């Protein structure tokens, strides 16, 4: 049997093979991760909840199925972590907020149901920025998650707990949500792979809404193949989600296995958006790693073409108008009346609303609700929200025109490696962490963050971003896998003892 050190280092692909070949069991695998969590979680604080009894019970049920020759699939018995805004029946779903402390979900989200149907073990609940609002995981009401590469640095956000748990070898993979870069940015900061699927590719049913026209669930994993395999599990049409796209199984992982026989990109054209490479203030290390990555793709046979996304300069302003407007509408349900926190200091209906929200929501959530309510108010709707939606259309057209010239776009994920805690106290500085990622949520296309190299100065990982048209995940999976196999840095293991 394999040692614990070997087990926690397995990718999803290798863990599935080990289970299939009888080299380990789900119980042994999950026990190894539970012991790892016990050892490093006091330092990383990536998880809000872990129930060892439930985990081992799920693992034992998986082992029994395998012993009977009836596993539910290749990934039966593999532990996966959920971000704390994804519902799982009979588990607390708090969105890392005091206002939902103690709320037990009465049902499974669509993706949770898919994971259970595949036999996956739900390992724990990952910390996050409250209601997915943040870029550093500093806005959680419960704890501050650290970056496993440097415990004084942030893991990114809002899916910081999901990314950190994968990087710290506390889980094989995790699910997060991406509203403006909340999967891709923490994936880059923590040296893991992060996918934002096409909007509507994965059902949002059971995802607590932040901004409904931007939110998308996706995987964080150790390899591109793992991300593709998880997308195979969770991508399907859901009649309970009106934005869910009709689709047939595409076999992303199987396609990559065939591609690996000759992982070349001959004839592939890669677009380099000039607006992304001319940004003032980009860290020199990121510039150098991007240049080195371009040469890796060139060695794989790809060619490059310059493209322009002229409305990119409006993306951040557009995003923060639309996202906050939708947040103010979505979070109106948390009123201290129907469920969630109710202030004990309230004396009438008005004070119940005011005090429950004021005491239950954190500062960043209150800030965004107020901004969103303002841009939707009478006299300002046309000047802000309606205009932002028009700009969103222009941004989408920019991407469509760019994709006529190339197969996908190659860009940085972030302007710099992970920053230290407290380094971005100004909200506007914090928002700029997502300058390269928000436009993709506005366009609805798909994007993949892949670790590229370690910054020699900070010793922190830096990622690249591959963006492709809607429903073209296969393009970026192939490109990401080819890059992964060819890059100079082969392994991204955080130096966490």
What whole-number distance in Å separates Cα of residue 146 and Cα of residue 472?
Answer: 33
For the chain, give every domain's residue range.
4-259
Please report, to the nearest 10 degrees, the dihedral formed by the alpha carbons of residues 249, 250, 251, 253 taken in order. -130
* φ, ψ for residue 44, nearest 5 deg: -90, -45
CATH topology of domain 4-259: Amidase signature (AS) enzymes (3.90.1300)
How would you list the strands of the sheet with 217-221, edge to edge?
47-49, 121-126, 79-83, 173-177, 217-221, 193-196, 446-454, 461-468, 408-412, 269-273, 303-307
Of 148, 218, 149, nearest to 182 by C-alpha is 218
pTM: 0.97
60, two tokens: 């034992």
Quote the pLDDT of residue 280: 83
Quote the pLDDT of residue 173: 98
Over the chain (497 residues), the average pLDDT of each successive run of 10 is 94 98 98 98 98 98 98 98 98 97 96 98 98 96 98 97 98 98 98 98 98 98 98 98 96 98 98 92 94 98 98 95 97 90 92 94 96 93 94 98 98 97 84 90 98 97 98 98 94 84
Quote the pLDDT of residue 432: 78
Quote the pLDDT of residue 339: 84
Q: In the annotation, is 158 catalytic?
A: yes
Let me know: does 452 contact 286? Beta carbons within 8 Å. no
Quote the pLDDT of residue 474: 98
Sequence-distant (≥ 6) Cβ neighbours of residue 489 within 8 angstroms: 451, 452, 453, 454
Pairing mode of beta strands 47-49, 121-126: antiparallel
Let me know: does 441 contact 464? Beta carbons within 8 Å. no
Q: In the annotation, is 26 catalytic?
A: no
Please report, to the nearest 10 degrees, the dihedral formed by the alpha carbons of residues 31, 36, 41, 43 taken in order. 170
What whole-number distance in Å separates Cα of residue 402 and Cα of residue 386?
Answer: 25
DSSP reduced 3-state for 330: helix
DSSP string, 309-320: -GGGGGHHHHHH
Which one is catalytic: 26, 62, 83, 162? 83
Quote the pLDDT of residue 497: 54
Q: In the annotation, is 182 catalytic?
A: yes
Quote the pLDDT of residue 209: 96
Of 447, 491, 475, 484, nearest to 182 by C-alpha is 447
Which one is catalytic: 62, 135, 158, 458? 158
Half-sphere exposure of residue 26: CA atoms within 13 angstroms, side-chain side: 27
**Alpha-helix residue ranges (DSSP H) falling in 175-273:** 184-190, 224-234, 252-259
Which one is catalytic: 140, 162, 177, 182? 182
């Amino acid at each position: 049997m394999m040692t614990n050190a070997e087990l926690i280092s397995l990718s999803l692909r290798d863990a599935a093979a080990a289970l299939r070949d009888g080299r380990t069991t789900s119980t042994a695998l999950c026990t190894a991760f539970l012991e790892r969590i016990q050892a490093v979680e006091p330092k990383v604080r990536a998880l809000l909840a872990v129930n060892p009894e439930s985990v081992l019970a799920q693992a034992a049920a998986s082992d029994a199925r395998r012993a009977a020759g009836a596993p539910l699939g290749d990934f039966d018995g593999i532990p996966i972590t959920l971000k704390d805004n994804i519902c799982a029946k009979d588990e607390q779903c708090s969105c890392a907020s005091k206002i939902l402390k103690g709320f037990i979900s009465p049902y499974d989200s669509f993706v949770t149901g898919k994971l259970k149907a595949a036999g996956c073990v739900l390992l724990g609940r990952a910390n996050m920025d409250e209601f997915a609002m943040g870029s550093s995981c500093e806005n959680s009401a419960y704890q501050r998650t650290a970056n496993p590469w440097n415990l004084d640095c942030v893991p990114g956000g809002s899916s910081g707990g999901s990314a950190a748990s994968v990087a710290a070898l506390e889980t094989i993979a995790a699910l997060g949500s991406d509203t403006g870069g909340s999967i891709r940015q923490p994936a880059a900061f923590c040296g893991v792979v992060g996918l934002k699927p096409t909007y509507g590719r994965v059902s949002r049913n059971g995802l607590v809404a932040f901004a409904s026209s931007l939110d998308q669930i996706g995987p964080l994993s150790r390899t591109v193949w793992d991300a593709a395999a998880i997308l195979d599990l969770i991508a399907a049409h859901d009649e309970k989600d009106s934005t869910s796209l009709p689709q047939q199984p595409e076999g992303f992982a199987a396609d990559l296995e065939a591609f690996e026989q000759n992982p070349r990109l001959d004839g592939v054209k890669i677009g380099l958006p000039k607006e992304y490479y001319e940004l003032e203030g980009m860290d020199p290390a990121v510039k150098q790693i991007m240049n080195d990555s371009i040469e890796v793709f060139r060695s794989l046979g790809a060619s490059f073409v310059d493209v322009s996304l002229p409305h990119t300069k409006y993306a951040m302003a557009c995003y923060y108008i639309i996202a906050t407007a939708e947040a103010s509408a979505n979070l109106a349900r948390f009123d201290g009346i129907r469920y969630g926190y109710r202030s004990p200091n309230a004396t009438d209906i008005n004070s119940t609303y005011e005090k429950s929200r004021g005491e239950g929501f954190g500062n960043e959530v209150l800030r965004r609700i107020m901004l969103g309510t303002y841009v939707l108010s009478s006299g300002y709707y046309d000047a802000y929200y309606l205009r932002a939606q028009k700009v969103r259309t222009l941004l989408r057209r920019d991407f469509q025109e760019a994709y006529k010239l190339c197969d996908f776009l190659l860009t940085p994920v972030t302007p710099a490696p992970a920053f230290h805690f407290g380094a971005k106290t100004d909200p506007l500085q914090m928002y700029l962490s997502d300058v390269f990622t928000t436009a993709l949520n506005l366009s609805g296309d798909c994007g993949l963050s892949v670790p590229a190299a370690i910054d020699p100065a900070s010793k922190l990982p830096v990622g690249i971003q591959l963006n492709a048209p809607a429903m073209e995940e296969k393009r970026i999976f192939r490109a990401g896998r080819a890059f992964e196999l060819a890059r100079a840095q082969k392994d991204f293991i955080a130096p966490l003892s």
